[in-house]
Structure 1
Amino acid sequence: MAADTPSNGPAPGRLEVGDAFRRFADFVPLMMWRAGPNGQAVHHNECWLEFTGRSAEEEIGDGWRRGLHPDDFERHAALVSEAFAARKPFTVEFRLRRHDGAYRWLLETGRPLEEDGCFHGYLGSCFDITDRKHAEEHIEKALSEKEALLAEVYHRVRNNLQVMVSLIGLYGRAAPELCRGSFEALGQRVRAIALVQQHLHEAPHIASIDLRDYLHRLASGLGQLRRAGRIGVTVSGRGTGFVEPRTANALGMIVAEIVAECLDATAENVACTIAIEIDAGAGAPVRLAIVSGAGEAAEPGRPNVPKLGPRLIAAYAAQAEIAVRGTATAEDPLELQLPETRAVGQG
């Protein structure tokens, strides 16, 4: 660190740093530095020197770079060099060795100094963000562990559901003719449960699920799960909403049950449609309206399947505190209002 400039003028190639700036910089409880037009450091304040434990003379020019973490050296140099060449502000994170030998993460911000069109170099400051970086690393590790746990749980649930489908099929084939329709309907519903879990697991952000995207993907899968081509599910409306897994799971089960009821109520060769409309206005609870457009009635003699849809839908809705009314007909759509406290934003 150069001493105050003598009265006969600054040394060749050195930028004069006045007493006023030195007093200001040393008073600020923040690591500060100043560089000349050539990018060489001409001043580090007392806070900086206390952090590094080095003298001002040792830090001057490129001397301070000896404290940079080896893994950050090239990246930092390239970014700062590019900013200097363009004379633009820059922000960069890097590790610097502290006086006790520990590397600490710093957030550095530099701004060009210009006056009357003349470039005088840069003024910069640094914040110690090590605690924040450690917190981010801890969160990232926790999220990674959570994702691994969720993946394991999903695979176990999927395997168990597959076993259940196989058992239901075995019992159904051994059951009397009049009971086989019920076994088939039960097996299809278990497959739908597995599909709901699959789409929850595949959501980009498991903690906050994009409702519109989730329902689009789920609807496509449900349309192919049972007698592909017989059913079409559309999702429309305004806005979208982000919901937690519990709400998304309940909605998925409700939609799956409406699809199953529609198929059970129509002939084998007749298509039916499900229309889902989302109303996600800003600041209001997310609402959905679902209409099931069943086709022709099932043929006479078709094995009778118990109509449990309304009871199951009410149970799924209650699990996630979803308000529900209606019968999913064109005259009386099934209306769902998601709990306001459960709807969450993302970013």
Structure 2
Amino acid sequence: MAVDSPSPEGTGAADSRVSAAFRSFAEGAVLPIWRTDPQGYCIYVNPAWLTFRGSTADAEGGHGWRDGVHPEDRSDHDAVLSAAHANPASFTAEYRLRRHDGLFRWMLGQGTPLFEDGAFQGFCGSCLDITDRRRAEEHAAKAAAEKEALLAEVYHRVRNNLQVMVSLIGLYGRAAPRECRPSFDALGQRVRAIALVQQHLHEAPYVASIDLADYLTGLGQGLMQLRRPGRIAVAVTAARSVLLQPRTANALGMILAEVVAEGLDATAEGVTCHTAVTVPAGSADEPLLVSIVASGIGTGTAPAAPPKLGPRLIAAYASQAEIAVSGEATADAPLILVLPPAH
């Protein structure tokens, strides 16, 4: 089925180069089947092909069948066939072929080289109508694009609303009595951390499945930028990684942000708040654990610290994603999170 060669004689359905055994097999098949000679000319098409095309063997012989290929697909299809004949090897190609009713249908063409005594004799192949599959793929791609656009719009609105909230908290904090300002600062810190968690969820390559190690590492680096350089240090060590569902990743991010915030509340401004996140190794059959330890938690060394709400917030975030929680994020009692199995 190649192009740009002189047309041979005898390209009809009764071409003597097509064996009786091949013809017997092909004429009983429900799929369109074809055969070419070594120069790429069509020397046989079976009844299923003719029924699909609404044509005759003489009209389809040689290069006549090419008239049914969609104009937009001819160049690429010709290139595949020419390459296959130049160096005989099996091939597949997807292209649109005009049906007897004038409609173009997507076909999956497959060809296999034929040899006799080591000499190349041409190709035989078949075609499968994959129009429904192509339409389903196009629909899925369109739906995915619309989903991404919707997620981007939602993220944009959430980010803007959180920025407004941070500004309002700052305004009220500056106007509040001095003894109340640490609480406003802590609230603003938490809202900024919420915005950061949402940002990293949005930026994940695949929003439906988020890599645990990459997510924790990126979020930890982002949290370190929320205060002056050196004030926050987050170290992530992950000996195991899995893909998390969005709700699990969101809850885990909020818990880490809250632990960092609790550490900031409990340490003086000039002290670095260290937070260590560890994901121990384990097999696929073992529960997925995350251990978090933050310096300063439990010491109460910072002056005028805001109310300690961390444990209640962490419990609330964990319950939203069915995460089991134990410990206090201290060196003696690390916060241990047992994540639900990925689905």
What is the CA distance between 1:33 and its match in structure 2?
1.2
Rounded Cα–Cα distance in structure 1 between residues aligned with 2:290 and 2:80: 49
**Offset of residue 247 of structure 1:** 1.1
* CA deviation vs aligned residue, 1:79-124 (integer Å, no higher than 9, x gap): 2211222212111111111111111111111121124322111121
- Contact residue 267 and residue 296 of structure 1 kept, 8 A: no
Contact 2:289–2:339 (CA under 8 A) maintained in structure 1: yes
Contact 1:267 1:295 in 2 (8 A): no
**Runs of 5+ unmatched residues, structure 2:** 1-10
- Quote the residue 1:55 is aligned against: 56
Secondary structure (helix, strand or coil) at the match of 1:228 reads coil
Q: Closer, same or farther in 2 for the Cα pair 1:85/1:234, shift >3 Å?
A: farther
Is 1:2 the counterpart of 2:18? The answer is: no
Corresponding residue of 1:281:
283
1:295 is displaced (CA, Å) by 9.0
Q: SS state of the match for residue 114, structure 1?
A: strand
Cα contact 1:253–1:316 (8 A) shared by 2? yes
Q: In the alignment, does 2:221 pair up with 1:239?
A: no
Q: Distance in 1 between matches of 2:220 and 2:239?
A: 18
1:239 shift after superposition: 2.9
Task: Say if 1:114 and 1:332 are closer, same or farther in 2 by CA, change over 3 A.
Answer: farther
Taking the TM superposition and a 5 Å limit, the aligned residue runs for 1:1-347 are 2-5=12-15, 10=16, 16-278=17-279, 279=281, 281-294=283-296, 302-340=303-341, 343-344=342-343
Gaps of 5+ in 1: 11-15
- Cα distance in 2 for residues equivalent to 1:283 and 1:296: 34
Preserved CA contact (<8 Å) 2:252 2:318: yes
Report % sequence identity: 60
Aligned partners of 1:85 and 1:214: how far apart in 2? 49
- Given that 1:268 and 1:298 are in contact with CA atoms closer than 8 Å, whether structure 2 keeps it comes out as no
Relative to the length of structure 2, the TM-score reads 0.92
Query: Is the alpha carbon distance of 1:76 and 1:186 closer, same or farther for their aligned partners in structure 2, counting shifts above 3 Å?
Result: same
Distance 2:236 2:57 in 1: 66
Q: Return the letter of the residue paired with 2:209.
A: S
Shift of 1:280: 5.8
Contact 2:266 2:305 in 1 (8 A): no
Q: Which amino acid aligns with 1:145?
A: E
CA distance in 1, matches of 2:80, 2:261: 58
Deviations 1:49-106 (A, max 9, x none): 1111111111111111111111111011112211222212111111111111111111
Q: In 2, are the aligned partners of 1:240 and 1:280 still within 8 Å (CA)?
A: no
Q: Runs ≥4 in structure 1, deviation > 3 angstroms? A: 293-300
* Residue aligned with 1:224, SS: coil
TM-score, normalisation: structure 1: 0.91
**Hey, what does 2:3 align to over in structure 1?**
none
- Change over 3 Å in CA distance of 1:149–1:84 after alignment to 2: same
State the distance in 2 between where 1:211 and 1:74 align.
45
Mapped to 2, the partners of 1:213 and 1:116 lie a distance apart of: 57
Residue type at the aligned position of 2:224: G
- What letter is aligned with 2:20? D
Q: Is the 8 A contact 2:183 2:305 kept in 1?
A: yes
In the TM superposition, what is the alpha-carbon distance from 1:296 to its structure 2 partner?
11
State the shift of 1:203 in Å.
1.0
Q: Distance in 2 between matches of 1:251 and 1:153?
A: 21
* Partner SS for 1:84: helix
- Deviation per CA, 1:118-143: give whole Å up to 9, x if none: 21111211111110111111111111
Query: What's 1:13 paired with?
Result: none
Matched length = 332
* Secondary structure at 2:258 match in 1: helix
Inter-CA distance 223–117: structure 2 relative to 1 (3 Å threshold): same
